[in-house]
Chain A
Amino acid sequence: MAAKTNVQQLQKAGIIAAKHNLTEADQAKVNGLTENEVSALISARQKLGDALLKKSAKGGKFPHPDSFSY
């Protein structure tokens, strides 16, 4: 049986919703992650597909801060 790709593993774990089609660039990025990085995403329960699709959420002309910029 062929080994699962990172995208497939993350879909199985519910981190990427199966209905979401990632762009080729995002798929390549995700499939380039190491096993430990994939585990970290699963551990953090990041909903990667949702997150990627919300790239333009809450905006306006200028982006709001998202860190504490120390």
Chain B
Amino acid sequence: METNSQRLRGKIELVRPRLRQAAGEVWHHARLAELFPELLVTVHSVIRATVPTLKTAEQCARARAAEDPVCAGMVEYLAAHAIEEKDHDEWTLDDLEILGVKREDIWKRIPSPAAAALVGVQYYWMRHVHPVAYLSYQAIMENPPSPEFLEQAIERTGLPREAFATQLFHGSVDPHHVADFDRLVDSLPLSEWHHSILGVNAFQSVELLAQVYDDLLYRFETKNRDGA
């Protein structure tokens, strides 16, 4: 019998190759050392919304909890996870400072529309459809990086190890987060309707995240080609 989390991950796996392809174009880029600061800026443009979206998901779930057992089952987890994720966006800014990118300059940068869309759709689904939708976004985003791959990337780029600190941290702690997440999803009394919402948002979010990578690469290559 397939568990809730296995069913969700099975759907994500159907479309993850598109994401892996887009991310691979960035991580395996011949000029990764130059591209990496731009990648971190892009990461920050998305993860600056992590704690706010988790808190919104918690509020939406709490508001329905009395008459909705799925929402009731999510509240505590979301509240605890928002605390765990606190300041991770700040850590990314610390990593960028090591690479010589100033904090104040990052906040002046206009994020890609795909990043805005990726985060924006989460608010739509959880506020106007059902908070359970947020869990597919989380399942996609919380995918621990391989520490071995990161070590190779540090060596390949020659960039300071400290600039990878947040990535390395996630490589070590996210496996625990994934286990906690799966336990939560498996404990929820999900109906076919909930599963369908999870699948729809998973497919949309994977495509939008892939577009975030596509946009990053396009901007980097255009800027270099045009010498801007």
Residues of A bordering B, CB below 8 Å: 26, 29-30, 33-34, 36-37, 39-41, 43-48, 51-55, 57-70
The answer to whether A65 and B146 have CB atoms under 8 Å apart is yes
- Chain B's interface: helix, strand, loop or mixed, by majority? helix
Query: How far is it, in angstroms, between the C-alpha of A12 and the C-alpha of B112 when the chains are bound?
Result: 32
Query: How far is it, in angstroms, between the C-alpha of A41 and the C-alpha of B203 when the chains are bound?
Result: 6
Residues of B bordering A, CB below 8 Å: 10-11, 14-25, 27-28, 43, 46-47, 50, 85, 88, 140-146, 148-150, 152, 167, 170-171, 174, 192, 195-196, 199-200, 203-204, 206-207, 209
Question: Across the interface, which residues of B come within 8 angstroms of A43, CB to CB?
Answer: 204
The answer to whether B23 and A70 have CB atoms under 8 Å apart is no
The answer to whether A58 and B20 have CB atoms under 8 Å apart is yes
The answer to whether B19 and A66 have CB atoms under 8 Å apart is yes
The answer to whether B142 and A67 have CB atoms under 8 Å apart is yes
Nearest B residue (CB) for A52: B17
Instruction: State whether A70 and B15 are in contact (beta carbons under 8 Å apart), knowing that A44-B203, A44-B204, A54-B21 are contacts in the complex.
Output: no
Minimum CB–CB distance from A52 to chain B (whole Å) comes to 6
Question: Across the interface, which residues of B come within 8 angstroms of A55, CB to CB?
Answer: 17, 20
The contact of B148 among A33, A39, A62, A69, by CB within 8 Å, is A62
Question: Across the interface, which residues of B come within 8 angstroms of A41, CB to CB?
Answer: 15, 203
